[in-house]
Amino acid sequence: MQLFNQLASLSLITLPLIAQADTVVNKNDLTFNANQYTSQIIQVNGQEIKYRAYEHIVYVKNPVDTQYQQMNIYIPEAYFANGQIGSYNAQNAPIFLPNSIGGYMPAEPATATPSLKGPKAGKTSTVAYALAHGYVVAAPGARGRTTQNTDGQYTGKAPAAIVDLKAAVRYLRHNDAAMPGNAEKIISNGTSAGGAMSALLGASGNHSDYEPALKALGAANARDDIFAVSAYCPITNLENTDAAYEWQFAGVTAYKKMMMGNMIDFRMERKEVAGTLTVAEIKTAKDLKTRFPGYLNGLKLRDEKGELLTLNAAGNGTFKEHITSLLMSSAQKALNKGTDLSNTPWLTIHNGQVVSVDFDQYVKTITRLKTPPAFDALDLSSGENDLFGTSTIKAQHFTAFGQANSRVNGTSADPAIVKLMNPMSYIGAAQSITTKNWRIRHGTTDRDTSLAISAILATTLKNQGKNVDYALPWNVPHSGDYDLDELFAWIDQISQSH
């Protein structure tokens, strides 16, 4: 009843099925059927949005799991009557592609109607906002680390999720002529593990490494490069992220950890328990921290002025200054908007200007979330260990450090599969298209991964000449879709100028 009231208060009206007559001969034949939809209306900010809902479209010919290898496509009704929304019409409307992946878990496609569970239950969905803005929305599901078939084999371990997202993109391109919206203007969106997959989709367009898996699934024979990437707090670059985490957090021995080791999905409510690192963990943290400068320096990243971003053995240097300058910009922006920052012990402010950041104090203030190694857990208990299992092995290591220090004699993932999950392996790769337009956000109070990870991704892309909008929103924790007005303004600007 309570749920009914919530829905009623959003004035959600689902009209009867209009066009059910077309029977589906082969629902996996990859042909978009424009007549197979329900008409729906949803209220967004007091405005009524009418759209056609094409739901549960299986996007590969030979699905392994139709619960997840399917997509919901939503199209504003206006585009079937020569209408316009803003400056968009059936020909030029971008296609917004929000994945709902969290925690590297299996994800069903997002819906226009509010989700029924999680922190956003009952709230206007991202899909609905995107429709109201005039985008065609294609929300793909994808297999994840816990998916199993009836024989009990795992079917969604790495690289399943990225292969599925690529198959969804290929479906959209394959059907571009039959659908309103422009498949040359696909904008991928995701948060956390979903942000990582969004970034990977953008980094690895058309790369042949994924071809065998796509062929086996019977994906459409079309390109899978995309126009733009939106990634919130991407949990990515998994081979290097333990070292990056300790570069940032090694000095903090107190942690507030999630109660269940595997409860990492940003969509779940988090219950945290406080603790202190053991002597062995403090040693692991220090060991991992010393590995970071070598990796970072090897990237030869440069800032906007062309200056090399480096770190000395102690973890100090121009790269660290780069991160503190990003924090300062974030604070300055908040200050300019009137936010009271006087109780921020790690900031020095003079006459309304942020003049310095005490990075160690900042890290202590936001606290540590994970115990070392933060990702490749020595007892194989992390979500990422689970991601790198195989059809018959639940969880594996994926770093040399994890393997060498395993407490459970764990095996290691095939390095070729680890590579398939990392956008850093593909940015600028030959015979592949790396997306030109990127928007990356990583909140200043996010402790799920180091700020270094998003900064390395953004800087690598910038150094390759990509159009990158990267910022650390002030006081924002591990989350996404919190600034859709700004995201949509960015999408409009790139869609209209490119």
Binding site for ligand DHB (CB under 6 A): 102-104, 192-193, 235, 264-266, 383, 448
Based on the number of CB atoms within 10 Å of its own CB, is 256 exposed (0-12), middle (13-18) or buried (19 or more)? middle
* Closest distance to ligand DHB from the beta carbon of 353 (Å): 34
* Closest distance to ligand DHB from the beta carbon of 319 (Å): 22
Cis peptide before 373 (omega within 30 of 0): yes
* Closest distance to ligand DHB from the beta carbon of 103 (Å): 4
Q: Helix axis angle, 279-299 relative to 241-249, nearest 10°?
A: 110
Q: Which is nearer to ligand DHB, 193 or 395 (CB)?
A: 193
* Closest distance to ligand DHB from the beta carbon of 192 (Å): 3
* Closest distance to ligand DHB from the beta carbon of 411 (Å): 21
Q: Which is nearer to ligand DHB, 132 or 235 (CB)?
A: 235
Positive/negative CA dihedral, 379, 456, 451, 475:
negative
* Closest distance to ligand DHB from the beta carbon of 71 (Å): 20
* Closest distance to ligand DHB from the beta carbon of 266 (Å): 3
| Bridge partner residues of 434 (DSSP) | none
Residue among 159, 204, 137 nearest 481 (CA): 137
Q: Which is nearer to ligand DHB, 317 or 477 (CB)?
A: 477
**SS3 for 89?**
coil
List the structure tokens of 6. 């919530």
Which of 179-199 are b and which e, b meaning 16 or more Cβ less than 10 Å from the residue's Cβ?
Answer: bbbbbebbbbbbbbbbbbbbb
Q: Please, what is the Cα angle at 375 between 373 and 378, to 5 degrees?
A: 50
- Report d(CA 209, CA 225) in Å as an integer: 14
Q: In angstroms, how far is the first alpha carbon of the chain from the final one?
A: 48
Q: Kindly state the DSSP code that residue 123 receives in the 8-state scheme.
A: S
Q: Which is nearer to ligand DHB, 53 or 374 (CB)?
A: 374
* Closest distance to ligand DHB from the beta carbon of 73 (Å): 24
Q: Which is nearer to ligand DHB, 106 or 180 (CB)?
A: 106
Q: Which is nearer to ligand DHB, 194 or 293 (CB)?
A: 194
Residue among 458, 483, 492, 479 nearest 202 (CA): 458
* Closest distance to ligand DHB from the beta carbon of 407 (Å): 19
Q: Which is nearer to ligand DHB, 225 or 239 (CB)?
A: 239
* 176 Cβ contact list (under 8 Å, min separation 6): 182, 183, 184
Q: Kindly state the DSSP code that residue 53 receives in the 8-state scheme.
A: E
Q: Which is nearer to ligand DHB, 331 or 421 (CB)?
A: 421
Q: Which is nearer to ligand DHB, 42 or 229 (CB)?
A: 229
